[in-house]
Amino acid sequence: MKKRVCLQGLPVDIISYDSALEFALSAIDNGENMQIVTINPEMVQSAKNNKDFANILKHAELVVADGVGIKIALKLKGVSQERIGGVDLSRSLIELCAKRNFRLGLLGAKEEVISTLVKKLKNEFKDIDIVFAHNGYFEDENTVLNQIKEVRPQVLLCALGSPKQEFIIYRLKEMLQGCVMIGVGGSFDVFAGYVSRAPIIWQKLGLEWLYRLIKQPERFKRIFPTLPIFLFESIIDSVKK
């Protein structure tokens, strides 16, 4: 169903969008936990200086290519992979929860964002079973994780930014059963309507990152010099293969 390739020492799964969703659904149906990572160049670069983070990425059950940078790096290795974005995948997982009556948990973003999101989702999907919703600014991580354990979500979306969300999900894998967990970065801000997504044409051209950069110029220091270094190292990596 999926083929795993190695990109600068980290895994990336070669999989279609639909198969990724089916894979997630099978984990819930089989009572297995699954950590989904939507990998991007910033995460690859950060994992190079953080062994624990790299270890988490290596143990993720599903690692999908988010961001055009990963797509290009794979192409350099002769591998074609469509972009699977966290916003789209988490939206599909929410719809799956509504359709299959799965228990949904939401962790992350500012209080006003998460409360708006819960209201919006309850409005859109009348019977959606949101068993947990908490903002991402908490002092006591253990208390929050134990609260999540109590309500046994089957899908948990974590919007805490990377690598925080991946570390928390990794801990939760030891505490939950039959739960698909995904780190979704700033997706709650988008779903709740606080941040607008790039128009479809920008997305299709692989320029969503540029749109976000224009809208949030403070992201500049996150992308540069990380992205050019990543691309340079991807070229070296592809020559070595």
- Contact positions with ligand UDP (CB under 6 A) in 118-147: 136-137
Least distance (Å) from ligand UDP to the CB of residue 195?
8
Phi-psi category of residue 25: left, alpha or beta, with phi > 0 → left and psi -120 to 50 → alpha: alpha
Does 109 bind ligand UDP (CB under 6 A)? Our answer is: yes
Which of 13/189 has CB closer to ligand UDP?
189
CA distance 136 to 208: 24
Does 108 bind ligand UDP (CB under 6 A)? Our answer is: yes
- What are the angstrom distances between the C-alpha of 49 and each of 53, 116, 182, 211, 212? 9, 36, 22, 28, 25
For residue 117, what are the contacts with CB-CB under 8 A and spacing of at least 6? 106, 109, 133, 188, 191, 192
Does 189 bind ligand UDP (CB under 6 A)? Our answer is: yes
Least distance (Å) from ligand UDP to the CB of residue 240?
29
Which of the stretches 19-27, 92-100, 105-113, 232-240 binds ligand UDP when contact is defined by CB under 6 A? 105-113
Least distance (Å) from ligand UDP to the CB of residue 169?
13
Backbone angles phi, psi at 94, to 5 degrees: -65, -45
Given 85, 153, 163, 185, the residue binding ligand UDP (CB under 6 A):
185
Count of residues engaged in binding ligand UDP, rule: CB under 6 A: 14
Does 110 bind ligand UDP (CB under 6 A)? Our answer is: yes
Does 66 bind ligand UDP (CB under 6 A)? Our answer is: no
Q: Which residues bind ligand UDP (CB under 6 A)?
A: 108-110, 136-137, 159-162, 164, 185-186, 188-189
